[in-house]
Amino acid sequence: MDLRYSEEERAFADEVRAFVKAELDPAVRDRVLHHKRLGKEDYLSWHRKLAGRGWVAPNWPVANGGCGWNAVRRFIHEEVMAEEGAPPIVAFGINMIGPVLIAFGSDAQKQHYLPRILSGEDWWCQGFSEPGSGSDLASLRTKATLDGDHWVVNGQKTWTTLAQHADLIFCLVRTDATVKKQEGISMLLIDMNSPGITVRPIITIDGEHEVNEVFFDDVRVPRENIVGEPGKGWTYAKFLLSHERSGIARVGQAKREMRRLKAIATSELVDGVPLIETKAFREKIAALEIELMALEITNLRMIAAEKSGQAPGAEANMLKIKGSEVQQGLTELMMEAVGPYALPFDPDALEPGWNGEPIGPDYAAPLAGTYFNYRKVSIYGGSNEIQRNILSKSLLGL
């Protein structure tokens, strides 16, 4: 197993880096690097730049408008983009429902939706979790009943990320309550402007409106908007989640944040000595950096195996667990590095153009908000507790 990049792959990384430096709005880059909030247009403008270059869908086949890249190129592209401060592509269209439609959608669905996902014309959100159905997603109760040429949907979804911006939602619904719970679930594509849909914001602990509750009251959805076959939604959801978890380790982003942590620790002084030169804090950084290096090597091992034709195994679950722990560890050490300057948390300080009076150095203001927000990374995409259960069953036979 060769974990080194070839000369061609290194040249591709240079090409990606040059593209980002030339095309990314410096103001957007600054907001990403300094943990400021991004607006819908920040995401869409970068999406359109990538679409124009033909790089917006690295994991799609060429026949469907994608790049057709192998696992190594996809990883390089993602890593360099993150290191250079590019906004992430909103995953719900490109990385989630797009691959599902390519694999299971009707020809009409592919022809209509895929070009609009590529161009950024349609913004999607994900309707999976419910108030009583999170880790036990198969217990979901949102119901769809066939009435002539329409499905009539009633129920509620929660933690629906960026639903306030969405044009469409791919939604798991119960279409048959008489069979095993996993076998009675279907996937519907629903227009968010349909009568009967209500989006209610959930303001998270960092003061951000990122997630929402979505209510469906007698929402009529065209019959042809079902994905694949009725009752196969659980299969399609598992396929989708495998794509969601593929980049969840965020190695490139973690490497970028490690550099930022070191820069902060170099600027902060303890008795006139840079914090990074103190034994206790230097050891904390070293321990976390070792975890990050191990995470990167594990990620490269999985990519090398995929390149040689092997399906991802338990490594994907390990990456999710360790990746989230590294991300949270970075936010914790940044908070610790600025000490009491991290305590006064002002959500407005995360907004672009904020002109308030900072308490302490400028870089301290957004750190508490980032710390609060990153409590979620060990939960979404399958909580770390669930991931450990999967590992214990698949590897240890428990």
Question: Rounded to an integer, what distance in angstroms lies between the CA atom of residue 2 and that of residue 114?
Answer: 35
Query: Alpha carbon of 394 to those of 182, 311, 388: distances in Å?
Result: 20, 14, 10
Burial class (CB in 10 A: 0-12, 13-18, 19+), 9: middle
Q: Give the max Cα distance, the chain.
A: 76
Check if 244 is active-site: yes
Cβ-contact 166, 125 below 8 angstroms = yes
Q: What residue type is 118 in one-letter code?
A: L
Q: 73 CB contacts (<8 Å, ≥6 apart)?
A: 9, 12, 58, 67
Q: What residue type is 128 in one-letter code?
A: F
Q: How many helices (H) and strands (E) does the chain have?
A: 13, 9
Count, residues in the chain: 398
Quote the Cα angle for 49-42-257, to 5°: 95
* Number of other residues whose CB lies within 10 A of the CB of residue 87: 20
Q: Which SS3 state, helix, strand or coil, does residue 124 take?
A: strand
Question: Rounded to an integer, what distance in angstroms lies between the CA atom of residue 123 and that of residue 370?
Answer: 24
Per annotation, catalytic residue among 79, 83, 84, 244: 244
- The b-or-e profile of 239-264 (16+ CB within 10 A means b, else e) is ebeebbbbbbbbbbbbbbbbebbbeb
Burial class (CB in 10 A: 0-12, 13-18, 19+), 340: exposed
Cα 69 to the center of its chain, rounded Å: 20
Crossing angle of helices 107-119 and 40-53, in 10° steps, is 110
Pairing type for strands 150-157 and 168-174 reads unpaired
- Give the residue numbers marked as catalytic: 244
